[in-house]
Structure 1
Amino acid sequence: MPRSLLGRMLLLTLLVVLLAQGLSSLIWVSQLRATQLEGLVTTARSLAHSMSASVSYFRSLPLAYRPMVLEQLRSMGGTRFVVSLNNRPLDMQVLPPTVRKTAVIQAVDSVLRESLGAPVDLSVQFVSPQDLRIFNSGLALDELPRSWAHYSLTLEPVNPPVLVTQIRLGEGEWLYIASLLPEPYTSLEEEGLPAQQWWFILLTSSFLLLFIGLLVHWQSRPLKRLARAARELSLGAEPEEPEVEGGGSEVIEVSRAFTAMRERISRYLTERSQLFSAISHDLRTPITRLRLRVELLEDEALEAKFGRDLDELELLVKGALQCVKDTDIHENIEPVDLNHVLDCLIEPFLSPGGDGRVTLHGGAWKPYPGKPLALKRCMGNLIDNALKYGDRAHLHVEDDPKAFILHVDDEGPGVPALRLEKVFEPHFRLSGNQQGYGLGLGIARNIAHSHGGEVSLRNLPERGLRVTLYLPR
């Protein structure tokens, strides 16, 4: 299935059109064939009446005159029928029966038996021109003079089937009548869908798909603008101008709701920034004041207890403020050269004075639109985390038109499977003796989320942890 709305609408429309046109064409062809079969039967009955008249005429002739009349007919170039007198019925290879052949044979047989009156011995069958035999000697059509029968029984290069009727006139005398059906039933083939109908289906489907495509494209443009605005909202960018409403009433309603939501989120982010600035100012002053008062205590044991409590409180405050500060980076969105960012991050480890604990494989094929400082901090946290807990960091870059992917592998003990998501929580540490605030992975994931991406973890089969940064383009 196509992923775009336009592709799905066109595919669905094409399927519906083909189904509707197929059903209508099937009904039309069925009616056409029924009408043609009815006309064919009528024509066959008319032909049978002509045969009946010929049989009656030959019956009325004296026996000695019958060969003379046949010879005269041949010298005149033949008639509609090829007629001969044989002393026995000729045995020929009969064509396989079809609906039309069977209908013609039944119609001719019934008319002849009805017209000739008394019980009559006759046979009606279809024979191909190549297998046709005419006289007692079994002469083929090509062996006869062309003026006798060839022009009456062939329509080269079509060579349609020949209707052969053999009627017993008397003892040892059989009247042989061969003819072609008149147009348009000469070939007796059931015609498929005419070329005009195929062109009609093709043109109507093309025009319908064209108009549906234009309609969906016109209706989806506001949705694309809405998606671009949502992308900019996730990156924290301020819109340059209000979104232009367009499309159907439902799309307009969604656009208005999104604009109202964006304004509320913008106000919320502004208020949150102001709130944390106030918290930073309000908490630092009393903590400093308490620390000064603790230093004036004479009881050293009590002073140590108060000092530990104040250190823990200050650690929590600094950690929370740093998490907000590192995540909520106010930058403009611009093309970022991720290769340059990675080179800057690993350059200290590759310089002559470095320890070579970082390796890099691959690179980005084009700039990524995002926040430069935030992306640098995100990837820097991942590299620092690998070096801190895994001793080494092996970077692998995968880039294509859909996404930029950075794998950071370390050589540490890894993370228990049940705690792979827990390590993203603030202040969480796998062991109590680890340094820092426990915010690096959480900040990196928040920055990735703000770019519409993700940070995920998985343990490597041999040893170590793989941290994957996924940034969609």
Structure 2
Amino acid sequence: MEGLRDRLSRPRDTVARWIALTTMAAMLASLALNGVVSVFGGVWARPPLMETGLMEKAAAITRIIDSVPPAQRAAIAAAASDQDFSSQWLPHYEDAHLPAIEDPTFRTGSALLRRLLSRPDASIEAYEPADWPSGAASSRYALMIELSDRSWVMYSVPTRSWGLGELPRNLIIIALILSSTMVVALIATRHLAGPLERFAQGARRFGTDFRAPPIPVIGPQEIRQAILAFNAMQAQIQHFLHDRTQMLAAISHDLRAPLTRMRLRGEFIEDAEQQSRLFRDVDEMQAMVNSALDFFRDDARLEEATAFDLAQLLQTVVDDFKDAGAEVTFHGPNRLVYMGRPIGIKRALVNLVENAVKYGREPEVYLEAHAEHVLIQVKDRGPGIDSELHEKVFTPFFRVEGSRNRTTGGVGLGLSAARATVLEHGGTLSLHNRRQGGLEARVVLPLG
């Protein structure tokens, strides 16, 4: 009883059940459609020479011809003929000039004709156009029925108009079965694919917008369980981000206070050199604290995703550097609409262009639109970075010796923040040395 209750309590709307039901429904639909076609399409589904009424017509004419004197038979046969059906009385079998074939017996219709003629011993033969020699002008469908006095009546038609051949019939049945199966499969897949598409859209939306609403719990049991787990994870991440923001705000306040006190106490140091060193250390610590807090807090990550002109945003970044005295060139289209967080992307691009301006020469920005992604390249003609450090430079607080120092500024968080923003958009950020010297920062952002 417990096992039966467990089976009854299991959810019925599952992927496994839908697959099984789809298979059964497709098979039943195919069988039902085949049966309907066989019943209502009987004219073309029957064997040759078995159209409804054709055998009865031949039997009636044969009985009439057999009941009259031989002198009248030819006239009656001619009178029974029309444009599509020819009947002819022949005193002798040889007068028909029929081809010689191995078995001329009309197997499918002989029994019916003998019963209609009331002559169980009547000889009946049938011929098809394929029985005549190739290219013969006299090729036709012919039906030979023997009369009681051993004469014959021949019925013939030039073409078969009472149904389709075996191959066309089979092809039509196969096409109808495939069509019914496809209809059933499409209905089932739409029921399954709809929740999966909404699940995927919700996951992508949360990847670009941490404040995205939960995904509606709709679909088969397995998909609903996955959506519930994702919504729970989304809620935990949102709660974590909120707590982290509050914590970092408190840390920011607590760290600035002792740094301010250290600077005030430094004012009482009489040794000017020691005082200058202390102030430099305090300023560096203040810059590191501010940069770290900005990186970890990064309110732009909570920015809502929206459609914006990526080409115009890049042009604005380039113009800002030009206003500051840096000769940066832009190559790309005048307009390119992209769906994402414009503030976060702008910060990432500013960091990349700033590195190219600060540590290289001839900075250039390229924008290219492809079918499935957008490519952004920030190039310079500087000293570049050793290939073994291309990944390490994205580590927080890592600085390449010789290119960054306390004088030029920077605490090693610019590239880390830029890659984090690109990854949150589902893209990639990588560095590549140029052949003739210099560095290329390559950003790939997916479309759709």
Does TM-score exceed 0.5, indicating one fold?
yes
Matched, 1:448 2:422: yes
C-alpha contact (below 8 Å) 1:459/1:465 kept by paired residues: yes
Instruction: Name the residue aligned to 2:244.
Output: 269
Corresponding residue for residue 333 of structure 2:
362
Residue 383 in structure 1 maps to residue 353 in structure 2: yes
* Contact in 2 for aligned 1:338/1:364 (Cα 8 Å): yes
Alpha carbons of structure 1 residues 350 and 109: separation in structure 2 relative to 1, 3 Å: same
Report if aligned partners of 2:208, 2:341 keep a CA contact under 8 Å in 1.
no
From 391, 402, 419, the counterpart of 1:421: 391
Q: CA deviation at 1:426?
A: 1.9
Counterpart of 1:447, as a letter, is T
- Give the whole-Å Cα distance in 1 for the aligned partners of 2:310 and 2:23: 45
Indicate which of 123, 138, 141 corresponds to 1:161. 141
Inter-partner Cα distance in structure 2 for 1:323 and 1:95:
99
1:329 aligns with 2:298: yes
**Matched residue type, 1:247:** I
Q: Which residue of 1 aligns with 2:441?
A: 467
2-side partners of 1:383 and 1:404: how far apart?
17
Matches within 5 A, 1:22-101: 22=30, 25=33, 36=46, 69-77=69-77, 82-86=88-92, 88=94, 90-93=96-99
Q: Deviations over 1:40-84 (max 9, x none)?
A: 5999999999999999x79xxxxxxxxx93321223455886331
Distance 2:325 2:245 in 1: 42
- Residues 467, 176 of structure 1: alpha-carbon distance in 2 compared, 3 angstrom cutoff: same
* 1:153 matched residue in structure 2: none
What CA distance in whole angstroms lies between the structure 2 residues aligned with 1:41 and 1:407? Answer: 76
Percentage identity across aligned positions? 17
Supply the distance in 1 between the matched residues of 2:103 and 2:289 (Cα, whole angstroms). 91
In the alignment, is residue 179 of structure 1 matched against residue 155 of structure 2?
A: yes
Structure 2 Cα separation of the partners of residues 358 and 53 of structure 1: 102
Shift of 1:393: 1.6
3-state SS in 2 of match to 1:443: helix
Q: Distance in 1 between matches of 2:358 and 2:174?
A: 74
Unpaired runs of 5+ residues, structure 2, are 1-20, 81-86
CA-to-aligned-CA distance 1:404-436 (integer Å, 9 cap, x gap): 542212223544443322111123234345323
Q: Is the 8 A contact 2:129 2:140 kept in 1?
A: yes
Alpha-carbon separation, structure 1, partners of 2:354 and 2:424: 21
Give the 3 Å change call, closer, same or farther, for CA 340–218 of structure 1 in structure 2.
closer
- In the alignment, the residues of structure 1 paired with residue 258 and residue 100 of structure 2 have an alpha-carbon distance, to the nearest angstrom, of 109
> Per-residue CA shift, 1:289-344, capped at 9, x if unaligned?
89789x6799x9xx79xx69x97797467435403314533355466554554344
- The change in CA–CA distance for 1:243 and 1:318 in structure 2 (over 3 A counts) is same
| CA–CA separation in structure 1 for the residues paired with 2:216 and 2:164 | 63
> What is the rounded CA distance, in whole Å, between the counterparts of 1:261 and 1:125 in structure 2?
83
Aligned to 2:108: 104
The aligned residue for residue 378 of structure 2 is 408
Tell me the equivalent position of 1:346: 318
- 1:398 to partner: Cα distance: 2.6
SS in structure 2 at match of 1:396: strand
| Per-residue deviation, 1:232 | 6.0
Contact 1:349–1:355 (Cα < 8 Å) also in 2 = yes
Residue 61 (structure 1) aligns with: none
For residues 436-460 of structure 1, give each alpha carbon's deviation from its aligned partner in whole angstroms, at most 9, with x where no partner exists: 3222211212233444544233344
Amino acid corresponding to residue 323 of structure 1 in structure 2: A
Deviation sequence 1:63-116 (CA, Å, 0-9, x none): xxxxx9332122345588633123846543579999xx974388699999x955
197-206 vs 399-408, which moves further: 197-206
* Change in CA separation of 1:177 and 1:336 when aligned onto 2, cut-off 3 Å: closer
Distance 1:187 1:204, change over 3 A: closer
CA distance in 2, matches of 1:40, 1:386: 88
How far the C-alpha of 1:164 sits from its partner, in A, is 3.0
Deviates more, 1:411-420 or 1:36-45: 36-45
SS, match of residue 218 in structure 2: coil
Kindly provide the amino acid, as one letter, of the partner of residue 333 in structure 2.
G
In the TM superposition, what is the alpha-carbon distance from 1:212 to its structure 2 partner? 7.4
| Residue matched to 1:260 | 235
Counterpart secondary structure, 1:427: coil
CA–CA distance in 1 between the matches of 2:338 and 2:249?
A: 33
Distance across 2 between alignment mates of 1:245 and 1:205? 29
Distance 1:221 1:399 in 2: 25
1:204 CA drift (Å): 10
Q: Secondary structure at the match of 2:143?
A: strand
Tell me the matched-pair count.
400
Q: Is 1:127–1:163's contact at 8 Å kept on the other side of the alignment?
A: no
Q: Is the 8 A contact 1:83 1:176 kept in 2?
A: yes
Post-superposition offset of 1:268 = 2.7
Contact 1:457 1:466 in 2 (8 A): yes
In our comparison, the structure showing a higher alpha carbon Rg is 1
* SS in structure 2 at match of 1:429: coil
| Equivalence for 1:230 | 206
